[in-house]
Each structure stands twice: as structure tokens, then as C-alpha cells.
Chain A
Amino acid sequence: MIAIIDYGAGNIRNVLRALTYLGHEASITADRAQIQRARAVVLPGVGAAGDTVRALRDRGLDDLVRRTIEEDRPFLGVCIGLQVLFDTTEEGGFQPCLGILPGAVKRLPAGLKVPHMGWNQVQQRAESPVFLNLPDGANFYFVHSYYVEPAQRELVAAETSYGVDFCCAVARGNLFATQFHPEKSGPLGLRVYDNFLKATLGRHTRH
């Protein structure tokens, strides 16, 4: 079972739909035991990073996210689910995030239409099994006003350009997280989920 973390946010069911469509058994849950038992954990997200961090803390799920990543269990973050992993965000003033990955979340530069909404090219900066059969520079769907700036360059798996060249995917072991929405990026987006699960679950079960 793949656990999609439920922290009370709105429309995260489209991630479940994508995983179900691909034939994976997944469920949206806030149950600690279920998340701990899951073969992979997905943290989706829309809305504000600060609210998401608070919602995770209120439900006692922040430590679970931290432990999942520290133990290198398969973890996939999407959009806000990427942003909250870092130290701080400029959104809503200056707010702490989970501090699992070093770096900051920043506002997209002024002078551009914000949110950055639509399809933009994802330039692969590192080799990853998640990019299997995905052309470098392929378009994925974005909708966000803030971006992550990792303090460690080696975390950057891919970049996208919108006024600034920003990190749109991070990878480390069995952790992968994207700023774009694979569940809204057509067939190539679905391939991101499929590649991630095949790579990490395969690797994980061999242990």
C-alpha cells in the first residue's frame, strides 16, 4: 500500500486517482500506523506552506515525514510537499518549515505573472531512475508562487526557468520531490509516478 498523507488539504485526491490509474494500491490517510507500514509515502499539497506545516504538526505527522526521509524509505513530495521539507519559507512573512532538507523557499521574482501557472520545461540536472524514458526538457504542469533553493547543490535533480532558474525537483536516495504536478502533466507526468515507484519499491524490497 502507498500512503498519501492526509493533512486536511483540499484537492489531493487527484494524486490518488493517478496512482490508482497506474494500478497501484494507494490510500489517503492520516493514520500513523498505516503510514509507517506503507511501502511508499506521498506528501502532496496545494495551498500555503506555513498552513501545511502547522496542519502536519497538529496531526503529529511532521515527525513521521522526518523519520520516513531519515530512514530513506520511499518518499515522494509534490508542490507544497516539496517546499515544506526545507528550513524556511518567505510565504506569509517568514515561516519555519520542517527543516529536513537544508535551504529556503523563496517568492518568484517580481515583474512576472504569479502564480507561475502552466506547462514549462524540466531540465534534468542529475541522473535519476525517475527520469527513465522522459525526454530532457519535457513540459510539466506548474502552479506555484514560491520555489525552493536547496543549500546543497547535489539535491537538485532538475531545474526550470521562470524569471529565475529554480530547482523543480530534488532527489536523494529514495526521496524524490517535485515542484510541478505529475498528476496533472499528462502521460509523462504519470510516468514520473510509475518510475519513482518502480525504482524505489524495487530497491526497497531487495533489502
Chain B
Amino acid sequence: MLTKRIIPCLDVKAGRVVKGVRFRDHRDAGDPVELASFYNSEGADELVFYDITASSDERPIMLQVVERVADQVFIPLTVGGGLRTVEDIRRMLEAGADKVSINTAAVQNPSLITQGAQRFGSQCIVLGMDAQRVPGAQPVCWEVYTHTGADGGRRTGMDAVEWAQRSVELGAGEIVVNSIDADGTQVGYDLALLRAISEAVTVPVVASGGAGTLDHLAQAITQGKADAVLAASIFHYGAYRIRQAKEYLAEQGIPVRL
């Protein structure tokens, strides 16, 4: 049976992992290679590196980070942040990424999904989506936002479920659904959003934003119908180990790789 994946997400700025990752036995908590190796040994099913570098001058550093990780860590690696062209995607895949995640650039230029999928295969084109509940809407619906790094993001006027479906038609092979409402709150994923998107598309859906407990991970899978869960804080700050999370999911009858 296909197992449900647990994916730690690491934010990288100018070649260093930020948002302190606190674990014992760490010589250098900010070194991407060491952290990738650590999460690999902990049983992470994939890794996501998100480049939050603001300056384009520092973008090439991310390629070196990806190369160094790919030389040492042999599990799937997704890289997101700042990828705007097919050439950006090509360079990242050559550096060793297995998948690239595109978000704002896909909204601004949906053909980037198609071009990337035609050139490199749908399996490596991941749509990253930031969605927020439309206040008071009945039935409930969600709007897609871009540029969520700053000032609460920009509205797009696009419905999240429709955008998810369209991205699959365009060639996306996986969708990471991030709830703006839940992100950083640790009160749980937006299960209704996850479920609406998972049931509307034929490709795997990854839950993102809001995990605070192990039960939140389980809920994203059982109620949100997610195929994988992405989490940052609960692992980085040492609240839970990945092994612990997997054992918890297994106790709930969820298939995991132990």
C-alpha cells in the first residue's frame, strides 16, 4: 500500500537554514546538508527546501545548496521559491532537485506549468498554492493569494479549487495546499480546504500550514484526504521527532514507512 508521506520543510536564506532548528548533537544548526542528513536519518519521506532569499544576487547560492544536499542525501528533494522561468527550473533540476514548487510565478504565467511539465515531466512540477477563506461566503470557499511573504499577500480573485483543477490540466503533478488562515498558528490544518481540493483533483495533495500536534497530521490525512503532510515548526523546534509522528499515524491505522 502506498504510504502517507511526512515532509519537513526547511526555509533557506542565503545558503543557511533559518527559523532555528533545535536538536541535540548538532554542530551547526543552520547547515542545510547536515539538517537534510539528520531528517533523512530520522525517516523523513522527502524534503522541501524553500528559498526565502530576498536578493536575486543570492539566488545562485541555492543551486550550490541543492547540489551539496543531493550529493549526500538520497531521498526526494523539492525546491521552491523564486523560480520564474523554464531555465530556472532546468538549473534547479540539474543541481539535483527532483521536483520544483512554483507558486506566484504560476499564477502570473500559467503556461510555466505546461512548459515545465512538457520539458521535464509532470512528476517534477509541483503547484504551491496559498489560499484564504473568503469571509462570510456560503457555501465556504477560498481565494488564492500570491506574494504571501509580505504584507499578507495579494489577492488574485481566483477560487482555490478551480485553480487546483486548472493547474492539473496545465500539467502539475502534485499540489501543496497552504492555508493562510492556519499557517503558523499550530491550531491544525484547514481540513475543509484540503478535502475540497483533494477530492477535486487526480494528483497527490500535500497539506501545509497549521500543524501543531501529531493529531493534526492524522486529521489532514483522514479528514483532509491529504496524501502527504508538510510541517516545519513542530519538527524544527523539537516538539516531536519524525519517528514519533510516524508511529502515531501508524497507531491510527494510517500506512507509513517506518
Contact = CB atoms under 8 A, between A and B. Distances in A.
Given A47-B121, A162-B2, A115 B74 contact: no
Given A113-B203, A184-B75, A119 B257 contact: yes
B93 A10 contact: yes
Contacts of B248: none
A141 B121 CA distance: 17
Interface string A110-121: 000111111111
A46 B122 CA distance: 10
Interface residues of B, number: 34
B112 to A, nearest CB: 16
Nearest to B203: A113
A129 interface: no
A11 B2 CA distance: 24
Given A139-B257, A141-B75, A189-B74, A10 B45 contact: no
B223 interface: no
B120 A118 contact: no
A185 to B, nearest CB: 7
Contacts of B2: 116, 118-120, 142, 162
Contacts of B98: 11, 14, 143, 184
B124 A114 contact: no
Interface string B88-108: 001001101110000000000
Given A113-B202, A120-B3, A10 B90 contact: yes
Interface string B163-190: 0000000000110000000000000000
B85 interface: no
A190 B45 contact: no
Contacts of A18: 74
A141 B76 contact: yes
Interface of A: 10-11, 13-14, 17-18, 20-21, 46-48, 113-121, 139, 141-145, 161-162, 183-187, 189-190
Interface of B: 1-5, 40, 45, 70-72, 74-76, 90, 93-94, 96-98, 119-124, 173-174, 202-205, 227-228, 257
